[in-house]
Structure 1
Amino acid sequence: MFKGYVISAAVGTTFVVLVLWLVCSSVAGMPSQYAQERKKMADKERSMRLGSQLTLNDREEMVNCYLMSLKQFMIATSTAGKTLFPPSQHFFHTKADIDNSTLFHIIQMMPKGGSLHLHESCMTSLEWVIKNLTYMDNLYTRMEESGEVRARLYLFSQASPGTEWTLMSELRAAQTDVDRFDQELLDTLAMWGTEPYASNHEAWNDFHAYFRGIDGFLTNMESRRLYDLHGIEEAYDDGLQYLEWRVSANNTDMVEYIRMLQGIVKDFKAEHPDFLGVKVIFEGMRESTPATVSDNVRKVANAMKLFPDEVKGYDLTNEEDVVNRLEHFVDVLVDDEGTALLPYFFHAGETTWSGGADMNLLDAVLLNTTRIGHGFATVKHPEVLKAVMERPIPVEVNPVSNQVLALVRDLRDHPASSMISYGAPVVISSDNPNVYFAKMQSHDSYAAFMGLASQQDDLRLLKQLAINSLKYSAMTETEKTDAFAAWQIRWDLFVEEVIAKYNLESYCQKPNL
Structure 2
Amino acid sequence: MLSSDSSQMIGSSIVLSDKEQQVNDLLMNYKLKEYDEGFNNPGNFLPAVNFFKSKSKIEQSEVFNFIRKLPKGASLHSHDTASVSSEFLYNLTYSDNLYGCVTNERLQFHFFSESMVDNVCKWKLVEQLRQENSSFDDFLKTQLTIIVDDPVKVYPSINDVWSRFMQTFSTLSGLLTYRPVFQSYFYQALKELYEDNVMYLEFRGTLPDVYELNGTIYKAEEVVKLYIDTLQDFKRDYPNFHGARLIYAPSRNVDNETVDNYVVAATKLKELYPDFIAGFDLVGQEDLGKPLIQFIPQLLELAKTNIKFFFHAAETDWIGTSTDMNLFDAVLLNTTRIGHGFGITKHPQILQEVKSRSIAIEISPISNQVLKLVDDLRNHPGAFLIASGYPVVITCDDPSFWGAKALSYDWYMAFMGLSSRESDLKLLKQLAMNSLIYSAMDEEEKSDTFIEWEKQWNQFLEDILKKDVFMKYFGCCSVNNIK
**Deviation of the 1:484 alpha carbon:** 0.9
Select the residue among 207, 222, 243 that pairs with 2:201. Answer: 243
Q: Return the alpha-carbon distance in structure 2 between the equivalents of residues 304 and 378 of structure 1.
A: 30
**Deviation of the 1:81 alpha carbon:** 3.0
- 3-state DSSP of counterpart to 2:324: helix
Select the residue among 65, 84, 95 that pairs with 1:136. Answer: 95
Q: Return the alpha-carbon distance in structure 2 between the equivalents of residues 83 and 314 of structure 1.
A: 41
* Residue 153 of structure 1 pairs with residue 106 of structure 2: yes
Select the residue among 105, 108, 126 that pairs with 2:68. Answer: 108
Q: Find the counterpart in structure 1 of residue 19 from structure 2.
A: 59
Q: Deviation per CA, 1:247-298, whole angstroms, max 9, x where unpaired?
A: 1046472321222122211121122111011100011211111111111111
Q: Find the counterpart in structure 2 of residue 25 from structure 1.
A: none
Letter in 2 for 1:213: T
Does the 8 Å contact 1:241/1:275 carry over to 2?
yes
**Deviation of the 1:305 alpha carbon:** 0.9
Q: Return the alpha-carbon distance in structure 1 between the equivalents of residues 304 and 312 of structure 2.
A: 19
Q: Find the counterpart in structure 2 of residue 99 from structure 1.
A: 59
Which runs of structure 2 are paired with 1:400-479 in the superposition (5 Å)? 400-479=366-445
Q: Return the alpha-carbon distance in structure 2 between the equivalents of residues 166 and 57 of structure 1.
A: 62
Q: Find the counterpart in structure 1 of residue 34 from structure 2.
A: 74
Select the residue among 219, 226, 233 that pairs with 1:267. Answer: 233
* Residue 388 of structure 1 pairs with residue 341 of structure 2: no
* Residue 198 of structure 1 pairs with residue 156 of structure 2: yes
Flag the 1:219–1:271 CA change in 2: closer, same or farther, 3 A.
closer
**Deviation of the 1:485 alpha carbon:** 1.2
Range that drifts further, 259-268 or 431-440: 259-268
Q: Find the counterpart in structure 1 of residue 140 from structure 2.
A: 185
Does the 8 Å contact 1:297/1:314 carry over to 2?
no
Q: Return the alpha-carbon distance in structure 1 between the equivalents of residues 30 and 348 of structure 2.
A: 36
Flag the 1:383–1:340 CA change in 2: closer, same or farther, 3 A.
farther
Does the 8 Å contact 1:250/1:284 carry over to 2?
no
Q: Return the alpha-carbon distance in structure 2 between the equivalents of residues 431 and 351 of structure 1.
A: 15
- 3-state DSSP of counterpart to 2:378: helix
Does the 8 Å contact 2:267/2:305 carry over to 1?
no
Select the residue among 213, 232, 248 that pairs with 2:190. Answer: 232
Flag the 1:480–1:369 CA change in 2: closer, same or farther, 3 A.
same
- 3-state DSSP of counterpart to 2:150: coil
Does the 8 Å contact 1:77/1:83 carry over to 2?
no
**Deviation of the 1:335 alpha carbon:** 3.2
> Unaligned regions of 5+ residues in structure 2, if any?
211-218, 474-483
Does the 8 Å contact 1:333/1:341 carry over to 2?
no
Q: Find the counterpart in structure 1 of residue 310 from structure 2.
A: 345
**Deviation of the 1:493 alpha carbon:** 1.4
Q: In the comparison of the two structures, how many residue pairs are matched?
A: 457
Does the 8 Å contact 2:209/2:223 carry over to 1?
no
Q: Find the counterpart in structure 2 of residue 6 from structure 1.
A: none
- 3-state DSSP of counterpart to 2:309: coil
Does the 8 Å contact 1:400/1:430 carry over to 2?
yes
Range that drifts further, 168-177 or 267-276: 168-177
Q: Return the alpha-carbon distance in structure 1 between the equivalents of residues 132 and 21 of structure 2.
A: 56
Range that drifts further, 193-202 or 469-478: 193-202
Does the 8 Å contact 1:60/1:495 carry over to 2?
yes
Does the 8 Å contact 1:114/1:241 carry over to 2?
yes
Identical pairs, percent: 38
Q: Return the alpha-carbon distance in structure 2 between the equivalents of residues 156 and 121 of structure 1.
A: 14
- 3-state DSSP of counterpart to 1:409: coil
Flag the 1:115–1:378 CA change in 2: closer, same or farther, 3 A.
same
Letter in 2 for 1:477: E
Letter in 1 for 2:351: L
Q: Deviation per CA, 1:366-409, whole angstroms, max 9, x where unpaired?
A: 11111100000011111111111001100000000000001011
Flag the 1:46–1:505 CA change in 2: closer, same or farther, 3 A.
farther
Q: Return the alpha-carbon distance in structure 1 between the equivalents of residues 318 and 130 of structure 2.
A: 49
- 3-state DSSP of counterpart to 2:77: strand
> Unaligned regions of 5+ residues in structure 1, if any?
1-40, 146-151, 508-513
Aligned CA RMSD, in angstroms, stands at: 2.0
**Deviation of the 1:322 alpha carbon:** 1.5
* Residue 312 of structure 1 pairs with residue 265 of structure 2: no
Q: Return the alpha-carbon distance in structure 2 between the equivalents of residues 85 and 105 of structure 1.
A: 17
Task: Point out the structure with max Rg over C-alpha.
Answer: 1
**Deviation of the 1:162 alpha carbon:** 1.4
Q: Find the counterpart in structure 1 of residue 175 from structure 2.
A: 217
Flag the 1:259–1:76 CA change in 2: closer, same or farther, 3 A.
same
Letter in 1 for 2:143: T
Flag the 1:173–1:86 CA change in 2: closer, same or farther, 3 A.
closer
**Deviation of the 1:339 alpha carbon:** 5.2
Letter in 1 for 2:312: H
**Deviation of the 1:505 alpha carbon:** 8.7
Q: Find the counterpart in structure 2 of residue 16 from structure 1.
A: none
**Deviation of the 1:82 alpha carbon:** 7.7
Q: Find the counterpart in structure 2 of residue 31 from structure 1.
A: none
Q: Return the alpha-carbon distance in structure 2 between the equivalents of residues 251 and 50 of structure 1.
A: 41
